[in-house]
Amino acid sequence: MTLPKNLQEIVDDIASMSREEKLETLIAYAETMPDLPDRFQEERSKMEPVPECMTPVFIIAEKEADGGIAFHLDIPKQSPTVRGLASILTNGLNGCSLEEIISVPADFYMPMNLQEAVSQQRINGFIGVLAHMKQAAVKAGAG
Amino acid sequence: MSYAHPEYLVDTEWVAQHLNDPNVRIIESDEDPLLYAIGHIPNAAQVDWFTTLQHPLRRDFVTKEQFEELASKLGITNDTTVVFYGDKSNWFACYALWLFQYYGHQNAKIMDGGRIKWEQENRPLVKDVPAFTATSYKAKEADQSIRAFRNDVFKQLEAKKPMVDVRSPKEYSGELLHMPNYPQEGATRGGHIPGAVNIPWAMAVNEADSTFKSADELKKLYEGKDIKPEGEIIAYCRIGERSSLTWFVLKYLLGYPTVKNYDGSWTEWGNLVDAPIEK
């Protein structure tokens, strides 16, 4: 499987880390996630509330001038694990073409061995975020 | 009326006054364990339900010996007052307290309001991880009177004794398994255990600051749904974390003598072959 270059680098990087380094890296990703640009706040306010136990994840994608897709996310700061995982995806996929994004396999994360650092529930959520991002990219790519 | 056992609850101010009390160990237990690394109450230790409280192999809690090791590492003696707090209205703080009591550490309390209230009051959060002098903690044999296994649930069903399903209404009705893009933590069937009443955990806490509701409000809430002190009650949710909050409320705030937490919860029952389900 061929992953987009940035995503592949992140996967390789995390794969080589100890459990503690993985956690530190997730925190760093969580803390550097940019705030949602103001121009998306209206869209954000229309998001349906998600049932408890789940972290609300707002995702919007835009097609840039060069045809690449840019993702903008809004995830509460009280959920650093979800922010960190989602931030891996935006860092790995921002600027990629629609084709590259939709061909990321759902099991791409396996080599990172994240399950030693976070629970399976989180990993399920992570796959859910990827599926959401693909949908958002399709929507943006068609627009 | 006041809480039946107010000694199991402390407020944020009490914690602020006891940050360096050698007889007190403050422990953060979160749904999202990275929160501790981002900032925690000064001198607080951390436990994580997934990496420190669960058995690494089996679906179970750490063994008595592993628990002793954990408590010793955190510098806890059998006389230490352990105070738990956490995110999400103290779900996992209650879960940790329940597990500490399972292994006989009765002297455990919850900081009312948890992380949310501490943050709302602009109290300090630090990143320094404290080091503690190790102790040699001695745990008791597991107290099965506060934990229900599936066989206890079958017996409960047969005897038509009360059960509380503390999940959200849509999980109770079985709708939630079908949410698009949100793979659920593995149950193949949706619904609830027949006869269980639905009292979502959140109804026991004040939305504004995550503190517990008053004793009068709680009494009305549970007794209004026929969950009464004389009943032998089993509470469950999906993995046993939200129901440990309800367990805490029933056992210590309302003083019900017999309350068990079924930690197998829906992720076990919803996967059991031949187990009855109601929708």
CA distance linking residue A96 with residue A67, whole number of Å:
8
Say if CB B70 and CB B62 are below 8 A apart. Answer: yes
Angstroms from B230 CA to nearest CA on chain A = 31
Please report whether residue A12 resides in a domain: yes
- Decide which of A15 and A119 is more confident: A15
Whether residue A33 lies inside any domain: the answer is yes
The CATH H-level superfamily of B6-142 is: Rhodanese-like domain (3.40.250.10)
pLDDT value of position B122: 98
Residue B235 phi/psi, 5-degree rounding, is: -110, 145
Q: What is d(CA B102, CA B96) in angstroms, rounded to the nearest whole number?
A: 10
Q: Do B33 and A81 touch (CB under 8 A)?
A: yes
Instruction: For residue A29, give every residue at least 6 positions away whose Cβ sits within 8 Å of its Cβ, in sequence order, or none.
Output: A83, A84, A85, A87, A88, A91
Task: Check CB contact under 8 Å for A124 and B176.
Answer: no
Sort out which chain A residues have CB atoms less than 8 A from B181's CB and list them.
Answer: 128, 131-132, 135
How many Cβ atoms sit within 10 Å of the Cβ of residue A3? 19
Q: DSSP characters for B164-210?
A: EE-S-HHHHHTGGGG-TT---SS-SS-SB-TT-EE--GGGGB-TTT-
Rounded to the nearest angstrom, the minimum Cα separation between A99 and chain B is 20
Q: What is the pLDDT of residue A118?
A: 87
Q: Within chain B, which residues score under 50 in pLDDT?
A: 178-182
CATH class of B145-269: alpha beta
Closest residue in chain A to residue B180, using alpha carbons only: A128
- Residue in A51, A118, A131 closest to B176 by CB: A51
Q: Which is more confidently placed, A57 or B246?
A: B246
The pTM for the full model equals 0.91
pLDDT value at residue A53: 61
Q: Tokens 């997730």: give the residue.
A: A26
Q: Is residue A108 pLDDT above 70, yes or no?
A: yes
ipTM: 0.81
Model pLDDT, residue B181: 44
| Residues of B with catalytic roles | 237
Q: Which pLDDT score, from 0 to 100, does residue B179 have?
A: 44
* Chain A residues whose beta carbon lies within 8 Å of the beta carbon of residue B91: none
Q: What is the pLDDT of residue B182?
A: 47
Residues in B 234-263 with any Cβ partner in A closer than 8 A: 238, 242
Which residue's structure tokens are 């199991």?
Answer: B8
Q: What is the per-residue pLDDT for A141?
A: 82
Q: Which stretches does DSSP call E strand in chain A?
A: 58-63, 69-74
- Smallest Cβ distance to B38: which of A27, A120, A132? A27
Residues in chain B closer than 8 A to A52 (CB atoms): 168, 200, 202
Rounded CA-CA distance B26/B178 in Å is 39
Q: Which residues of A touch B182 (CB under 8 A)?
A: 50, 54, 125, 128
pLDDT tens by residue, B258-276: 999 999 999 999 999 999 9
Residue A22: closest C-alpha in chain B: B34
- A50 within some domain: no
CB contact under 8 A, A84 and B34: yes
Q: From CA B56, how far away is CA B69, in angstroms rounded? A: 14
Q: Which residue of B has its CA nearest to A121?
A: B185
A127/B183 Cβ within 8 A: yes
Q: Which CATH number characterizes residue A17's domain?
A: 3.90.1010.10
Number of domains in chain A: 1
Q: What is the pLDDT of residues A18-55, one digit of tens each?
A: 999 999 999 999 999 999 999 999 999 888 766 666 78
CA–CA separation, B54 vs B48, rounded Å?
9
Q: Look at B32 and A82 and tell me if their CB atoms are within 8 Å.
A: yes
Residue B101: other Cβ atoms inside 10 A: 22
Chain B residue numbers touching A131 (CB-CB < 8 A):
181
**What is the predicted pLDDT for the residue at A49?**
67
**How far is A140 from B13, CA to CA, in rounded Å?**
50
- Grouping H, G, I as helix, E, B as strand and the rest as coil, residue B230 is coil
The boundaries of every CATH 3.40.250.10 domain in chain B are: 6-142, 145-269
Q: Inspect the interface and report whether the beta carbons of A81 and B176 lie closer than 8 Å.
A: no
